[in-house]
Amino acid sequence: MFYREAGQFRTSYAADQQLFPIRQDRLALLALLALAFVGVPLAANDYWFTAILIPFLVFALAALGLNILTGYAGQLSLGSAAFMAVGAVAAYNFELRVPGLPLLASFILAGACAALVGVAFGLPSLRIKGFYLAVATLAAQFFIPWLLVKVGWFSNYSSSGVITAQPMEILGYVFDTPAEKYLLVLTVVALLALAAKNMVRSAVGRAWMAVRDMDVAAEVIGIPIMRTKLTAFAVSSFYCGVAGALYAYAYVGTVQPEDLNLDLSFRILFMVIIGGVGSILGSFLGAAFITLLPIYLEVLLTFLAHEFNLNLAPGTTSMVQLLVFGALIVFFLIVEPLGLARLWQIAKEKLRLWPFPH
């Protein structure tokens, strides 16, 4: 009843081609943005900003990057965290070595650096696919953090490659409270998500999907495989790179390249699988799920231990977390391979007919 497009006529090409052709979607998105930009900063406290909202947005951006590569272009990558590390270190160096460079410009340049590295490690994808490629991206995951630590120049010769992000300053205004950082991250993420939403329905995005569905067939109908795959790697790594810069500047502040390890790459992959492979919305849902799950698991375990007088050994939570993550991945792949985004879609279809399903 509430989600029905009856009576919405598209009378111009512009109306037909807009991003959200259904009025309810547009209104819902505006409401969501209003909530995120106005409602949340008014209501949330510092714990929410620093422990939940900022990491959620940063990881959502990284998941979005991986989703472009894996979900849209069909190239599985296990190196997203390494590209985040490239972004973080590049942004740090641009801020450090180019005086007066605006912060956002160094974020964009950091993304561009990550994109270059991504293309370099995407080159094998021209010859290999599937798991061979997944293993090849592992090379990036092991090589890049090592390089960033070993070459002292990258971290300005600090011990063990640690970089400490400079304060974030845009046009003389310093973003230092959690709420301000949150708003900055939210703006960047919202803009990039909009760009991604646009990209995946353009010629580039359709070429990605054609390559994903069957690359030989795509080549036969005239899609340049090399360019398509490499753009996917470039765009995906750009997103991961910007996510890495935000991770360093807005979330943790002090980054050791080794923190951005294989575990994080897997976590980002899980966000994509659980959220929805090949869905922009899914990246956000997956990131929210994976960010919140450990917190709720911790609460639940503490509660259970208290209730049944169990004496849990330290570290139990992280193990149960592994167990639950693993089980959830298998569960989602079997029951709902398209993830939470698909559930949302089903809900929308149901809403369309409600209350008179036929």
Partner 1 sequence: MQFFFEVLIGGLLAGVMYSLVALGFVLIFKASGVFNFAQGAMVFFAALVFVTLQEKLAAPFWLAFALTLAVMVLVGILTERVVLRPLVNQPPISLFMATIGLAFFIEGAAQLVQLWAFRDISPRPLALGFQDAPFDWLLGEFNMMVSRFDAFAALVAGALVAALAVFFNKTRVGRALRAVADDHQAALSVGIPLKYIWAIVWSVAGFVALVAGLMWGARSGVQFALTLVALKALPVLILGGFESIAGAIVGGLIIGAAEKLAEVYLGPHVGGGIEGWFAYVLALLFLLVRPEGLFGEKHIDRV
Q: Which residues bind partner 1 (CB under 8 A)?
A: 74, 76, 123-124, 127-128, 130-132, 134-136, 138-139, 142-143, 146, 149-150, 214-217, 220, 262, 266, 269, 273, 313, 315-316, 319-330, 333-334, 337
Across 266-277, b (16+ Cβ under 10 Å) vs e yields bbbbbbbbbbbb
> Quick one: 273 or 288, whose CB is closer to partner 1?
273
Report, in Å, the least distance between residue 253 CB and partner 1. 25
Report, in Å, the least distance between residue 131 CB and partner 1. 4
Report, in Å, the least distance between residue 86 CB and partner 1. 15
> Quick one: 29 or 128, whose CB is closer to partner 1?
128
Tokens of 15: 């109306």
Report, in Å, the least distance between residue 220 CB and partner 1. 6
Report, in Å, the least distance between residue 259 CB and partner 1. 15
Report, in Å, the least distance between residue 241 CB and partner 1. 20
> Quick one: 329 or 351, whose CB is closer to partner 1?
329
> Quick one: 4 or 150, whose CB is closer to partner 1?
150
> Quick one: 55 or 74, whose CB is closer to partner 1?
74
Phi, psi of 356 (to 5 degrees): -120, 65
Say if CB 59 and CB 271 are below 8 A apart. Answer: yes
- Which residues lie closer than 8 Å to 121 by C-beta, 6 or more apart? 79, 136, 137, 139, 140, 233
Summarize the chain as % helix, strand, coil (round to 5).
75, 5, 20
> Quick one: 80 or 106, whose CB is closer to partner 1?
80
Establish how many alpha carbons lie within 13 A of residue 160's alpha carbon, considering only the half-sphere containing its beta carbon: 5
Report how far apart the first and last C-alpha atoms of the chain are (Å, whole number): 13
Rg (the chain; Cα; Å): 21
Report, in Å, the least distance between residue 155 CB and partner 1. 14
Phi, psi of 169 (to 5 degrees): -135, 125
DSSP codes of every residue in 151-181: SGGGGTT-GGG-EEPPPEEETTEEE-SHHHH
Largest Cα–Cα distance of the chain, in whole Å?
A: 68
Say if CB 321 and CB 294 are below 8 A apart. Answer: yes
> Quick one: 95 or 215, whose CB is closer to partner 1?
215
Report, in Å, the least distance between residue 262 CB and partner 1. 8
> Quick one: 22 or 147, whose CB is closer to partner 1?
147
> What span, in angstroms and rounded, lies between the C-alpha atoms of 245 and 242?
5
Q: Which residues pair with 169 in a beta bridge?
A: 174
